[in-house]
Structure formats: C-alpha cells, structure tokens
Structure 1
Amino acid sequence: MVESGRPKAGFRLVIIDGRAYVEKFMDAYQSRDKFTLWGILQLLRLYPGKIPDLDLMFNCEDRPNIFIGDYIGPGPNSTAPPPLFRYCGDDDTLDIVFPDWSFWGWPEINIKPWVPLMEDLKQGNKRTKWSNREAYAYWKGNIKVSMVRYKLLECNLSREHDWKARVFMQDWDKEQEQRFKNSNLADQCIHRYKIYVEGVGWSVSLKYILACDSVTLMVKPYYYDFFTRSLVPMHHYWPIKDDGDMCNSIKFAVDWGNTHQQKARAIGKAASKFIEEQLRMEKVYDYMFHSLNEYSKLLAFKPTIPPNATELCLEELACPAQNLATKFMIDTLVKRPSFSSPCSLLPPFSPTDLDNIRIRKETPIKQVETWEKNMSYK
C-alpha cells in the first residue's frame, strides 16, 4: 500500500531509530518540501526516542488526489488506497492531513515562522480598536489561482454597487521588488471583517486571518486542513456563499456586524482566541507526533532504508539555504528536548458525536441563509 503511493508522492520519508531518511521523487513548489522536512526534524529533536519507526509517502501540492471513488470496498476485488500525507483534504478523498510548511516560515514571500508571526499579529491587534477599524470586508491576494477568487473581484466597490468589500490583487513580483513592505500581515489587522477564500486548494492564509480579531467571512470552503474542522460557524467565523450571491452574502454579513457590533466583536475574539490557544506551536508538534505514531501502528512490515534515500540532517537542509530561509530555520530550531510528554490522544468520536458536530455546524449556516433570503436579521 505504501509503495502504491509513489506515483503521487513528492518524497518518501523513513524514520528508523529516531533518524530520518528521505527519497525525493519530484521538486516541490518553492521550498515547501524543505520546510516540511525541517519541521519533522524539529519534531524528532523535541521528542527524541519517542517517534516510532515508520515509512510514508508525502505530497506537497495543493489538492488531495486519493479519491474515494477510485477504490472498491471490502471484498476479493478490493483495491487498497495508498496512505498519502499532504496539507489538506476534502470529503471525496482519503489523503492524510498534516500541518503545512508555513509554520516554519515561507521565505519566498517573507512570511515569518508561526511563533514570531503570532506575536506580530497580537501586537497588530492592539494598534486599532475594533470600533475604530475600517467597517468593510477586506481581502488581498492572488486572484489567478481559482475561479471563486476571480468572482470575488465583482464584489469590489463600483459605481453601481457598494458590496461593503474591498478586494485587492496581490502582485508578488512588485512586492518582491519593494521588499514586501506592503505585505506585512500584522499591518492588515485594521479591518472589522476579513474575507477567507480558497485558492488552488485550501490556503495557509486562514490562520493569519482568524488571528486578527476581525470577523472572518469564510467563503464556503471545499477543503480542510488539520485544524479547520474544529471551527464553528457563527462562533469562529461568518459563513459566506460561494455562488452568484457571494457579493450579497458579504454585504449582508458586514451590515449585520455593523448593526450588532458586540456580537460581531465576539466572533472575531473567539477566532483569535482559538488560534492563540489551540494552534500554539506545541500543539502543532503534538498533532504531528500523534499522526505519525498512529500511522506507524498500522504498518505490517519493518521499515528499512530505501536504496536511493539519504539521511536527513539539519546542516544538509540549513546550510545550502540562503537569506530568509536560513534565518527562518535558525529561528525555528528546537534547542532542547521537551520536558513533558506529548498531550494524550482522546478516543475516537462516536457516530453520535459526529452527528452532533455536523448539526452544530449546519444549524447556524441554515440560519444565516434564512436571514439572507428574508433580508432581515436578529
């Protein structure tokens, strides 16, 4: 089963006796694979001797591609799906979701590692009180990567309409020339509402948007990453339609928030609190630990070092890197083992638990849809 994932994998990772070995199959976009592997090395340093032997395939692209429909259920003609790790999943796929590379930094666009960036965002939140923030919905990014982002442009201010949205196209080439002076994420925490919309797949931007104390207007997502299924509509974010009514949906949300400022502020605060408490780097590492530990229990063979694999060393990753990449790796280097063990893994949800979670999410979304249809809110 592991071997069958090779055609769709970017690299193979084998851990034996606490040492990591990697076999690369294809180059990843920018430095995604390098920083993902760097994060795994830090996990080995944080919990030395606690990561079991394992053998896995990893894909660094945006969209999951182990489709459920390609595999037949139990029986003599069944086909086993390859266990493939990646950054996101959806309801139609079986990819194993793992934290993305940006937690250790994204040097190509000058996004800091998660720990110092979180501090920047907390300071940015303090600069402008919610009541003094711009009373419209803000989004800035690359519209060329998805149709829904392209349609979002139609929600911008025009002579005919004010949809209460301000949408800006990000020119990364120009930003690079200007040394990213207009792309500081902490400087964007000056709006009451911030829009999240997916790109090619899910987007790493969600955690930055949720951390801003603003009301996150989440255009109906198709994909999820390792933490987003914990988010509850109308508690952590406001749901936005992804169809032809998207602009109306955004305007309605902004009008509601400006009319119910205390409730709107509470949504923004709940989101930033969730990010601060539940997405601490310690918990990210614990999620990584449990994902790899539970995966290793399923292996029915003893992992061995592939003939074409090379041992993964800190110096091998950090030394060839340049400028920001080197700085980010030094900044995220785990300097000592953890004094405590990883958090305890809770038992799996029961079917009843899962039904309750589904209802808890669907109910507020239906309520918002009813408000929008009647053009009234409470």
Structure 2
Amino acid sequence: MKNFNPAAVEEERAAMVPPPPAAREEIVDDPPAEHQPSPSSATKPCWKTTTSSGAGVVIGTLMFLALLVGTNWIHHDAGYYSFHPVTDGGSFSRHGRATGRTRSSTAPLVHIPFSCGNDTSSPSLCRRRASPPAPSPSPSSSSSSQKQYSPGVPPPWCPDYFRHIHADMEPWRPTGITRDAVERARPSAEFRLVVVSGRAYVEKYRPSFQRRDILTQWGILQLLARYPDRVPDVDIMFGTGDVPVLRAADYPDHSTAPPLFRYCKDGTELAILWPDWSFWGWPEVNVRPWGALMEDFVRENGRLSWPDREPYAFWKGNPDVSPVRRDLFRCNNDSAAGKEWNVRAFKQDWNAAHRNGFRDSDLAKQCRYRYKIYVQGRAWSVSEKYILACDSPMLAIDTPFQDFFTRGLVAGKHYWPIDPARKCAAIKFAVDWGNAHPGQARRMGEEGSGFAREEMGMDYVYEYMLHVLTQYSALLRYKPTVPEKAVEVCVESMACPRRGREREFMMESRERYVAGRELCTLPPPFTTEEVREMAVRDEQVRSKLLQMEEGH
C-alpha cells in the first residue's frame, strides 16, 4: 500500500461525488409484488446501505463521500429522515432524526404491580398477577424510560428499520399462516410461546444456550405488562440458535415455509427477526440490560473525549467461535515484522473474567479507542449495539448476517464498511484517514451512537416487538389456543424463584409503568425500486473506497 496522503484525497473530490438522481416523492403502501426482490430475500450483506428512498440513499451516500474527502459541504443533519403520512400513499422528507418524544406533565402513570410474597409456585404467582394495576400517585416517581407524546400531537413514524417487518412477513402474506405451518417449525425451535387474552404460555422443546430462552420470554412478559390488552393472541415458534436453519431454497413456494422467530438471518433464510435476549441482560458474562447499560455508555463517553482516545481500532472478544475472528488477529501490530495495521485485538477469556469478577470486561469502559471493530461470531454478534454506542466510528467487517436493527444502519453515516478479503489494509486506511480528518471521523462515531441511543432505545424495541406481533397475528388463519403441555409464565413466576445476577438483571429491566402513549406508526414497505437503488449506491460507496485505498 502506498503511503497515506491526505492532500491527495482532497484532489479526488470532484471525481468521487456522483450526480444525484431525481428524488422520489411517493411511497407505495402495498408490499412488493410476489417474486420481486425484497430486503429479506436479497442475498447481500446486512451492512448494505438502507434508507427510506432513492433520494434518501443518495443523500446518505453523498454524505459518506463528503466525509471521505474531508469537506463540510453537506450539513451532517442531511442524512436524517422521517416519514409523514399523506392521503393515498405517503411521502417523506429528510429533515430530522426519528421524531423525539416529550413527556406530558398531565399524563397519568399506571403502575405495574409486582410482588413475590411467600408462595413462589408458578400457578399461584400468575394468579396473583391478574389483579388490576393501580395508578401511580405521582408522575415524577417514574423510573421508566417511557416518553409520552404531547396532547394533540399524532404519533411519529417509527424508525426506518421497522419497514423490514413487512418483508419478514411477506412469504406468508398471500396465503396466511395455518396451525399446521406453525407446528412444522417445531424441529427448528427451542420453545413455543402462545399469548391468549393477554397471558403467556410456554412449551419448551429443548435447552437453549445459556439463558437465551428465559430472557427472551422475560422480554415478552415485559411487553405484555407494558401494553395490557394491546398484545394480540399469537402462537409462535422460537429458535434461539445462531446459524440459519430454514433455507429459502428449500421452499420454492415461500408461503409453505414454517414461520420461525429468530435473532438473526442471512439472505438465504426465511425467518421473522426479533430482538435478542441481551436487551434484558446477559447474566453469564455480566452484561447489564440495554437500557441501563446505555446510560453507562453516555457517562463514559462524556469522561473521555474522542481526541483523547487511543488512535487505533479496537476489538476484544472470543476468537474461537469463528474463522473470521481468528483471522482478525493477523491485523494486530507486529513491531518485530514492521507491520502496523492500526489494530489492537485482544482475546477475551471468559473463564478468567468470571474468576476476577469481570473487572476487565466492562463494555462501557472499552470506549477508550477512537475506532471500534465489529466482526461476526458464529453468525451475527450481539456486540454490534455495544460497539455502536461508544461515540467511536464502527469499522464493520462485512457479514451476510443481519439482526432487526442493523437493517437500518447506513454505510458511511453510521459505520465504515470493511471488506473481509482485505481487512487489515482496509482498517489501516480507515484509521489513517480518520486520524487525518478528526472532525468527520468523530461525526461518524456520533451518528452511530446517536442511532443506538435514540432509534433503538427500549421504547422503540418494545414498539418493534408489538408491531411484529400485530402483523404476525393478522396473518394467522386460526385462533391460538394453549398447547396441552404448555405452562403459564408471568413476571412473578419467572423472577421470584431466581437468584443472583439473573434476578438482578430481571429487576433492572422490569417495566414499572404501563405505556402512556400510542405506538409509533409503522412505515410502509420498501418498494422494489428502493431496494435496487440501495444496492447500487452501496456498491458505489464500496467501489470508491477500494479505489482510494489502492491509490494511497
């Protein structure tokens, strides 16, 4: 690789910025036609650029190109967007992040009761739970993160990644979902969860790794408590593993595939994506629930400003779960061989971490580097949200796997894409460029952490969950009933018998108050043209990055 020359980069400005096409003013409310490409079925990395329209893609891409050449000719807010409904379809404008929520001082809070008592048997606890909630005496006593809409203000549109809910449901839209189709997903599921009249019942089929199943069910119970009488009756099969299990190629008629809820998928799989268990905590590795941990990130980011951080790209984790991670260690600094790739990669020994009380594993305290590397595990990795939250640009090594929120990340705005085939050189170039253009690099870090903080806060996580279940329920062609071997679960039956860190995290992530506002409005699905434009623009960004790396 040639020596990095910032001045030469400046000279590429005119050649790098493509002319924008005309903006599209309409959004089609109907889902894409059958057999047309969709975000869920297209075989492409999860880090592909995603915005709400062709114009949105152009602006997001232009912003990235502007960052690359170190100019300030695009205001950093230009990459934001929000939807606005209109009659007979919809239109959008890009002039703000997902609409903020302000608490109404007059809105009453309804407390969610919780009591273990002396009897910790599941049936007794769940029967007690049926008592009606009592109103809170004072709005100021709320410890919930919920925000309410001001009186007279309609709910805003949900963040852009909610649009992929339509694509997840698309295989079953022509025919609906039968009981037989759900039960055919059993070989791929760890548990079945049924909601009937606001109560949850679980039939367990096989053990999940660690407590993935327990904390996933805990999250659904929080949803039921937060939105009483709002969660529809559903019958879902849930797979808690990492790797794809239901390949689209095995179902030429996608409507015959059994519907399965999972944490991630790639472009070859049919699955309905759901927030992973760690949003409610990961007790085995001492990772706190997302809402509380995000507050830690905000504090730590304020303590160490970006210019004072170490000017390298950092990664720490378990390299034994995938060849991609093991290969990353080739990029570590090797002073003896004269290799400096600007990477600082460290192996995480979880057994040793457990023995020393996780003193060296505080995620919020790992933000002392200017750049953070994201690399997949066996499939996706829950670490992506923690990496985003650091205020440091995320250098994301391309992966075919996606989870529910990464489908809303925009290359060059929220992260810097890294080609795995040339990861060492690509990371070195990204770090060298960022250190030479600190204002633009810092802005990218702030965009990523802003997305994590504002567009995937727990308010939106729960709203995403409820929108998914509402869309799924509308496709069921039968009335869900409680399976013969299912056991009722409720907040008390799950939390009261538990001890230690697991109980602590459940209490920390427990919803205290009923949601006091309407859901954000689910945006329409992507059109086929929008999907095509996103893929084209993403490829242009990556192609230009390669040209820049090869030229310096």
Q: Same fold (TM over 0.5)?
A: yes
Query: Offset of 1:351 from its aligned partner?
Result: 1.4
**1:61-108 deviations in whole A, cap 9, x for unaligned?**
11221101111237xxxx711100010111111111100011110111
Residue 260 of structure 2 is aligned to residue 80 of structure 1: no
Q: Find the counterpart in structure 2 of residue 103 from structure 1.
A: 279
Query: Offset of 1:261 from its aligned partner?
Result: 1.2
Q: Find the counterpart in structure 2 of residue 333 from structure 1.
A: 510
1:142 to 318, 324, 328: 318
Q: Is the 8 A contact 2:222 2:491 kept in 1?
A: no
Q: Find the counterpart in structure 2 of residue 199 from structure 1.
A: 377
Query: Offset of 1:327 from its aligned partner?
Result: 0.8
| 1:41 partner letter | L
**1:212-257 deviations in whole A, cap 9, x for unaligned?**
01111101122000010111111111111112x2111111111111
Residue 547 of structure 2 is aligned to residue 373 of structure 1: no
Q: Find the counterpart in structure 1 of residue 427 from structure 2.
A: 250
**1:2 aligns to what SS in structure 2?**
helix
Q: Find the counterpart in structure 2 of residue 128 from structure 1.
A: 304
CA RMSD of aligned residues (A): 1.1
Equivalents in 1 of 2:547, 2:469: separation in Å?
43
Q: Is the 8 A contact 1:64 1:86 kept in 2?
A: no
Q: Find the counterpart in structure 2 of residue 94 from structure 1.
A: 270
Equivalents in 1 of 2:545, 2:302: separation in Å?
30
Q: Find the counterpart in structure 2 of residue 348 from structure 1.
A: 525
Equivalents in 2 of 1:358, 1:127: separation in Å?
39
| 2:239 partner letter | N
| 1:120 partner letter | D
Equivalents in 1 of 2:537, 2:201: separation in Å?
43
**1:57 aligns to what SS in structure 2?**
strand
2:416 to 195, 216, 238: 238
**1:358 aligns to what SS in structure 2?**
helix
**1:114-137 deviations in whole A, cap 9, x for unaligned?**
111000001111111111110011
**2:346 aligns to what SS in structure 1?**
strand
Query: Offset of 1:348 from its aligned partner?
Result: 1.4
Q: Find the counterpart in structure 1 of residue 240 from structure 2.
A: 60
Equivalents in 2 of 1:130, 1:229: separation in Å?
27
Between the aligned residues of both structures, percent identity stands at: 48
**1:126-181 deviations in whole A, cap 9, x for unaligned?**
11111111001100000000001000011111121111101100000000000000
Query: Offset of 1:363 from its aligned partner?
Result: 2.4
**2:307 aligns to what SS in structure 1?**
helix
| 1:175 partner letter | A
Residue 354 of structure 2 is aligned to residue 176 of structure 1: yes
1:279-318 paired onto structure 2 within 5 Å:
279-318=456-495
| 1:186 partner letter | A
Equivalents in 2 of 1:145, 1:193: separation in Å?
23
Equivalents in 1 of 2:250, 2:322: separation in Å?
25
Query: Offset of 1:371 from its aligned partner?
Result: 1.2
Q: Find the counterpart in structure 2 of residue 359 from structure 1.
A: 536
Residue 210 of structure 2 is aligned to residue 33 of structure 1: no
Q: Is the 8 A contact 2:247 2:269 kept in 1?
A: yes
Bigger Cα displacement from structure 2, 346-355 vs 324-333? 346-355
| 1:35 partner letter | L
Bigger relative contact order (CA 8 A; separation at least 6)? 2
Query: Offset of 1:342 from its aligned partner?
Result: 1.5
TM-score when normalising by structure 2? 0.66
Equivalents in 2 of 1:207, 1:226: separation in Å?
11
The higher radius of gyration belongs to 2
Q: Find the counterpart in structure 1 of residue 386 from structure 2.
A: 208
**1:262 aligns to what SS in structure 2?**
helix
Q: Find the counterpart in structure 1 of residue 445 from structure 2.
A: 268
| 2:496 partner letter | C
Residue 373 of structure 2 is aligned to residue 186 of structure 1: no
Q: Find the counterpart in structure 2 of residue 227 from structure 1.
A: 405
Structure 2: gaps of 5 or more residues:
1-180
Q: Is the 8 A contact 2:316 2:348 kept in 1?
A: yes
Q: Is the 8 A contact 1:232 1:360 kept in 2?
A: no
Q: Is the 8 A contact 2:315 2:372 kept in 1?
A: yes
The runs of at least 4 consecutive aligned structure 1 residues that moved more than 3 Å come to none
Equivalents in 2 of 1:197, 1:96: separation in Å?
23
| 1:52 partner letter | P
| 1:357 partner letter | M
Query: Offset of 1:330 from its aligned partner?
Result: 0.9
Equivalents in 1 of 2:262, 2:331: separation in Å?
32
Residue 358 of structure 2 is aligned to residue 164 of structure 1: no
Structure 1: gaps of 5 or more residues:
none
**1:322-360 deviations in whole A, cap 9, x for unaligned?**
211101111111122111122111111211222233334
1:112 to 288, 306, 324: 288
Equivalents in 1 of 2:533, 2:453: separation in Å?
25
Query: Offset of 1:276 from its aligned partner?
Result: 1.0
Paired positions, count? 370
| 1:300 partner letter | R
TM-score when normalising by structure 1? 0.96
Query: Offset of 1:314 from its aligned partner?
Result: 1.6
Residue 227 of structure 2 is aligned to residue 47 of structure 1: yes
Equivalents in 1 of 2:239, 2:498: separation in Å?
21
Q: Find the counterpart in structure 1 of residue 158 from structure 2.
A: none
Equivalents in 1 of 2:538, 2:385: separation in Å?
19
| 1:241 partner letter | D
